[in-house]
Structure 1
């Protein structure tokens, strides 16, 4: 979506950023790339500087993928709990990256890990956001069998977010993988039902359904483009918006 340059004020005041653990790997095959963590932290700061209220959910696939482990024979619940612990590690790394550039940040974990993170309490999280602290939600929903996509939709609903932003490696939703299909078509607008019926796999079905029930638009953009997060918040740049009705 490309729009004329409008006012600098954000179109969405309170937003949740969902980013995969793999996005924090950079060019590495595993783990965290400090440069990529720093880049994402600066993207978040750019929105925070605009006066936006930001909360974040990060996946754990760069460290451990519960679904893959379960497919290899590990008990699914155990594998999912291990994946939740991986998201805590990513959340702590992001907190460090944000605080190093002057952004007050709190990590709230759905699993009690009091030595490194506050327990997730909805009213406490709301209060942090009201004080303009970035809140990083860790450990998913705290339950196995639910993805961090679903956790993101849940937290966005609980926090009363105006939008949920899905940060990916491409600048929106395509009808095919643009890395494999040169003629892949990017969508500017989609409805929640479009995503579900066409099996576009932007986020899992539970997350899409939860966002739909709570009327939270999903904006899909590329985190690899510097300044993209702030642009999307202001309705600029290139992205796909998923809402109840295609505009």
Structure 2
């Protein structure tokens, strides 16, 4: 028997760095398994519809390649392929524990995944499958944060959960280097942009504001972190609150 979740349909943005774990590069199978178990637990307890957008920074960063003289579009396409590798690893971890999963890519590669089709993605979610969106938006110059905002708007998700490595929310400085860094309990998107906090780029923030999509930033390795959010517990940093922004009941006063 499942408990009714505070959020019916969510998009989880898993950074590539989170999947790398402490090794800092590539995919740590233990981390992929941990994330998979967290998703399984949340689905079984609450019956929420869960979609995932994965980054690729643990394998390749388009901006880093462009900074070294590579053509920006080429570097970004390489980054999109890196996200597909991460998506397949996460799919494998989920299906090993019995969670039915579909990977959809914005760049067609039918031998390994479905092409992204909005109505098909929604149907998978309605059938209880986890859908992993890979290959970004399919176009260069857009981040995977923008992909998360775009896909969340397209599938009518209620919230974006940003799973970060090594931090449990948004701070005014890197808490791993500065023990006096101050954590924000909640922010508006405009405050986040004006303070230059680097949580997401301006395009992603604009999409969230226009579509009234709140974001919760939390630690990817927080045990039961996803479940805590789904049951309305206050963790991480809530971003939203502009006029017209949909604030779910789980947001504390």
TM beyond 0.5? yes
Gaps of 5+ in 1: 1-6
Matched, 1:105 2:90: no
Partner Cα distance (2:191, 2:50) in 1: 27
TM-score by length of structure 2 reads: 0.92
Q: Which residue of 2 aligns with 1:131?
A: 127
Please, which of 32, 40, 47 is the counterpart of residue 35 of structure 2? 40
My pick for the range that moved more, 18-27 or 156-165, is 18-27
- What are the equivalent positions in structure 2 for 1:6-155 lying under 5 Å apart? 8-49=3-44, 50-155=46-151
CA distance in 1: counterparts of 2:215 and 2:73, whole angstroms: 28
Q: Which residue of 2 aligns with 1:3?
A: none
- Aligned-residue Cα RMSD (Å) equals 1.4
Contact 1:16 1:161 in 2 (8 A): yes
Q: How many residues align?
A: 241
Q: Secondary structure at the match of 1:27?
A: helix
Structure 1 position 235, deviation (Å) = 1.8
| TM-score, with structure 1 as normaliser | 0.94
Q: 2:209 — aligned with what?
A: 212
1:187 paired residue among 179, 184, 189: 184
Secondary structure at the aligned position of 2:235 is classed as coil
| CA–CA distance in structure 1, aligned partners of residues 64 and 25 of structure 2 | 15
SS at structure 2 position matched to 1:127: helix
- 2:223 counterpart residue number: 226
Asked if structure 2 preserves the Cα contact closer than 8 Å seen for 1:212 and 1:244, the reply is no
Q: Quote the residue 1:4 is aligned against.
A: none
What is the DSSP-based 3-state SS (H/G/I as helix, E as strand, rest coil) of the residue aligned with 2:203? helix
**CA–CA distance in 2 between the matches of 1:151 and 1:183?**
33
- For residue 26 of structure 1, give the secondary structure of its aligned residue in structure 2: helix
Contact kept? 1:58, 1:148, Cα under 8 Å: yes
SS in 2 for 1:73: coil
CA contact (8 A) 2:170 2:184 kept: yes
- Is the CA contact (8 Å cut-off) linking 1:232 and 1:239 kept in structure 2? no
Question: How far does residue 9 in structure 1 lie from its aligned partner after superposition?
Answer: 3.3
Post-superposition Cα deviations, 1:228-247, rounded to whole Å, max 9, x if no partner, equal 11101222152111112495
Residue 171 of structure 2 corresponds to residue 174 of structure 1: yes
Superposition deviation, residue 69 in structure 1 = 0.7
Where does the alignment leave 5 or more consecutive residues of structure 2 unmatched? 248-252
